[in-house]
Every structure is written in C-alpha cells, then in structure tokens.
C-alpha cells in the first residue's frame, strides 16, 4: 500500500547531491564526500588543488569563483611566483556612457513577504506575487536588454519586434522562454530540416520528444539564414501535429465536405480535369509539401496536363 499513482502538471525532483570523487584521484574526502583542502585550496595530494561545490558543498557561483581565484594565486606561488595573477586576467573595458545617459539604472522590484509568526501557522505563500505595476515594470526591463539587440541597434525596443523569437533564443538569463515549450524538458533527438514556408531555404533544427516537435531553432550553420528565422519558421510549424490536420481526402457532398477514400477523390479530380486542357489549367503547389513532392507536382503539370502555368504559394 506504499505505492500510488497521481497526476501532476510539474514535478520538481529535490534529491540530495554529493560529489563523485574517483578513488584513483587519491585525495582525502570529508563528510558529504566533499574534498578536504588546506587554507591554500590544496588537497591531500601535493600539487592538486580544488574548490567550489566539491569542497564547500552546495553554495553560490560567486563562492566557487572566489575559490578559483584563491587556488590560482596559490598555484602561482607553488610554481615559484609571487601569487600575483592580476596581469594574467583579461582587462575589463570601460563602461559605455550611453547606457547611463539614455537608460538610468532602476532598482529591482520588490515583493512583500508573509510575516514569520503567520507563515509557521499556515500554508499560505510566503512570498507574495508582484502586483500589476511591478510586473509590467520588470517586463519593460527585459525589453531594454542590451544583450540581444540586432547589430547596430542599442536596444531591442528601438529595433522593433519582428516576432522572430531571436530574443528568446538569445536571452542570457532565461528570463524569456517559449510558453509552448516551457515545461517540455530535454528533447529525445534533434532533426535538421528546411523551413517549408518560402523559397529562402532557411535551415531549422527541430527538437523532438515523444515523436512530437517541442521546439524549433534556426540552425546557426544554415547557409541561407545563418542562425536567423522569421516568425513562420520559428513558431509556425504547429500544423504538423495540429489535431485539426486533415488525415483523409474530403469531397463536397450536398454542400458540405465529407471524408472519402483516395480512389474516390482521385477519380473525381481526374473527371473534372478531363474537361480542360493546356493553358486552361493552372497548378499551385503548397509550401508544406516536400521538395520531392513539389517536383512531382510540376512534372505532372507539364507532362500530363500540358501546362506551364505553375506557381507556389510561397510567392503569393
């Protein structure tokens, strides 16, 4: 009776984590399997230094960076230096003045918290959500991000949104995510293909999970698009798994479309086309067909129907 099944929207797996220190490394470990180091970050094995979570246990990134700096100085002294590694660091560039002139720094919005004497007696949320004004102010901060603006533009806000999703792909903090793929998880595989919507030939990477497309990224190595995509290529492939997608031919009966067999549908089309010939017929193919299917369509039009009146919906 200890096992049970329940339906969940999101599952957060909170498990204990500990470093995996190989025995052949030859260093002493302490409680929690963290590596023992001295004041200079050297392990019990001479000349081997360590730092970060595998020494302190789960901690912040800043603490890990500080351990790295401390270990680097100790290594320099161990190798005969003075422990001064400042000259080895990459020089920082001066801050651009236009950031401060055009867009003054704004403080991060704050939220209210439930008082301790109340929270210990209830199951109410301890941290209250932002109100409407604070939420909009924080969203505006993202629209002024300096990391994702197009070339020669200061900020995304001035460049104008094209709904291409490049800001979502480029967001360095994870503040922008695709709503449709927010909880999709990691893909099972990635398939490279060509966008079917127009003749540019943009190369796309499709992330597949459970045989469904969960996310689309423009291929950075695509010769035509070089990592860029328009709104159709980025967000317009939902038709592939749309529940309303046609799965059988439709024939109009009594003014309404009804499903029919392929033989019945093809016989009807053939009987209608038999009444026309040559330039009386025009053929328009679909961008949602493969290149091979479009090739067959144009060959059928020219050889069988005898017409050169051909076009493609991507040009319309």
Q: Which comes out higher in pLDDT, residue 198 or 55?
A: 55
* Per-residue model confidence (pLDDT) at position 223: 93
192, pLDDT greater than 70: yes
Select from 159, 177, 195 the last residue of a domain: 177
Q: Which comes out higher in pLDDT, residue 148 or 252?
A: 252
3-state SS, one letter per residue, for the chain: CCCCCCCCCCCCCCCCCCCCCCHHHCCCECHHHCECECCCCEECCCCCECCCHHHHCCCCHHHHHHHHHHHHHHHHHHCCCCCCCHHHCCCCCCCCHHHHHHCCCCCCCCCCECCHHHHCCCCCCCECCCCHHHHHHHHHHHHCCCCCCCCCCCCHHHHCCCCCCHHHHHCCCCCCCCHHHCCCCCCCEEEEEECCCCCCCCEEEEEEECCEEEEEEECCCCCCCCCCCCHHHHHCCHHHHCCCCCCCCEEEECCEEEECCHHHHHHHHHHHHCCCCHHHCCEEECCCCCHHHHHHHHHHHHHHCCCCCEEEHHHC
> How many domains are contained in the chain?
4
Tell me, yes or no, whether 32 and 82 share the same domain: yes
Q: Does the residue 250 lie in any domain?
A: no
* Per-residue model confidence (pLDDT) at position 197: 82
Tell me, yes or no, whether 83 and 64 share the same domain: yes
* Per-residue model confidence (pLDDT) at position 149: 58
Domain range enclosing 286? 276-315
pTM here is: 0.50
Q: Does the residue 63 lie in any domain?
A: yes
pLDDT band at 203 (very low <50, low <70, confident <90, very high): very high
pLDDT tens, position by position, 158-177: 666 778 888 888 777 777 77
Among 109-118, 137-146, 234-243, 298-307, the least confident range: 137-146
Q: Does the residue 227 lie in any domain?
A: yes
* Per-residue model confidence (pLDDT) at position 216: 92
pLDDT tens, position by position, 217-232: 999 999 999 899 999 8
pLDDT band at 102 (very low <50, low <70, confident <90, very high): low
145, pLDDT greater than 80: no
> Which CATH number characterizes residue 42's domain?
3.50.50.60
Select from 160, 177, 194 the last residue of a domain: 177
Q: Which comes out higher in pLDDT, residue 256 or 197?
A: 256
Q: Does the residue 219 lie in any domain?
A: yes
Q: Does the residue 108 lie in any domain?
A: no
300, pLDDT greater than 70: yes
Tell me, yes or no, whether 235 and 184 share the same domain: yes
290, pLDDT greater than 70: yes
> Which CATH number characterizes residue 186's domain?
2.20.25.90
Select from 161, 177, 193 the last residue of a domain: 177
- Take residue 91 and report the two structure tokens written for it: 């020089």
Tell me, yes or no, whether 31 and 83 share the same domain: yes
């Amino acid at each position: 009776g200890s096992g049970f099944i329940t339906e969940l929207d999101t599952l957060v797996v909170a498990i204990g984590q500990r470093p995996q220190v190989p025995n052949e490394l030859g260093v002493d470990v302490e409680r929690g399997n963290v590596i023992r180091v001295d004041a200079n970050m050297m392990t019990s094995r001479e000349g081997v230094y360590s730092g970060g979570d595998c020494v302190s246990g789960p901690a912040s990134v800043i603490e890990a960076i500080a351990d790295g700096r401390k270990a680097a100085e100790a290594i320099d002294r161990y190798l005969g230096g003075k422990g001064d590694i400042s000259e080895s660091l990459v020089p920082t560039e001066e801050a651009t003045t236009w950031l401060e002139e055009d867009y003054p720094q704004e403080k991060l919005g704050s939220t209210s918290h439930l008082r301790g004497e109340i929270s210990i007696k209830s199951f109410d949320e301890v941290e209250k959500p932002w109100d409407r004004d604070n939420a909009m102010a924080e969203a505006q901060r993202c629209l002024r991000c300096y990391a994702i603006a197009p070339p020669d533009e200061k900020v995304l806000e001035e460049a104008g949104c094209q709904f291409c999703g490049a800001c979502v792909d480029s967001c360095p903090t994870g503040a922008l995510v695709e709503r449709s793929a927010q909880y999709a998880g990691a893909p099972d595989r990635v398939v490279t293909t060509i966008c079917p919507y127009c003749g540019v030939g943009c190369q796309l990477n499709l992330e597949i999970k459970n045989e469904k497309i969960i996310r689309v990224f423009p291929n950075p190595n695509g010769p035509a698009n070089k990592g860029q995509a328009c709104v159709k290529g980025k967000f317009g492939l939902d038709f592939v798994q749309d529940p309303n997608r046609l799965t059988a031919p439709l024939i109009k009966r009594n003014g309404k479309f009804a499903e029919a067999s392929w033989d019945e549908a093809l016989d009807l089309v053939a009987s209608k086309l038999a009444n026309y010939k040559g330039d009386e017929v025009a053929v328009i193919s679909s961008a949602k067909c493969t290149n091979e299917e479009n090739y067959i369509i144009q060959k059928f039009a020219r050889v069988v129907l005898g017409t050169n009146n051909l076009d493609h919906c991507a040009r319309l």
